[in-house]
Amino acid sequence: MRQFGELEAAIMDVLWAAAEPLRVRDVLDVLNSDRDLAYTTVMTVLTNLHRKGWVEREREDRAYRYRTVTTREEATAQTLRELLDSADDRESVLLHFVSSATEEESDILRRALRRKARKR
């Protein structure tokens, strides 16, 4: 995702896939299945993600356990919102997006817009 660097995104993917909060060591073990990262590197990135408000942590004995604050879907929607807010011509952006949508995605959008209209 746009708001994350490469390693931040990989760490968020690990946390989103986890059923429970993870320690630095747990995240490192998953990531090191296909790369060779240092414990301190992962710890620093998790600390930065915590500082940025993307993860929460709770102390367990001498270590922290980390979990995401939002779901992957919520984070993706937030990124889309930020991109749309930064556009000079929102209408053009939305029209380009809709023109690239599949039929299934178009149906989802139509249903969501109908629900939104009913809530007003």
* C-alpha neighbours within 13 Å on the C-beta side of residue 41: 13
pLDDT in tens, 33-47: 989 999 999 999 999
The answer to which of 19-23, 25-29, 83-87 has the lowest mean pLDDT is 83-87
Mean pLDDT (whole number) for 55-59: 97
The pLDDT assigned to 23 comes to 98
- Answer with the residue of higher pLDDT: 117 or 48: 48
Exposed (0-12), middle (13-18) or buried (19+): which is 69, by Cβ within 10 Å? middle
pLDDT of 75 above 70? yes
Exposed (0-12), middle (13-18) or buried (19+): which is 90, by Cβ within 10 Å? exposed
CATH, domain 6-68, list 2.60.40.1180, 3.30.460.10, 1.20.1250.20, 1.10.10.10: 1.10.10.10
Chain centroid to CA 88: 25
Instruction: Return the bridge partners of 109, or none.
Output: none
- State both tokens at 54: 């993307």
The pLDDT assigned to 79 comes to 87
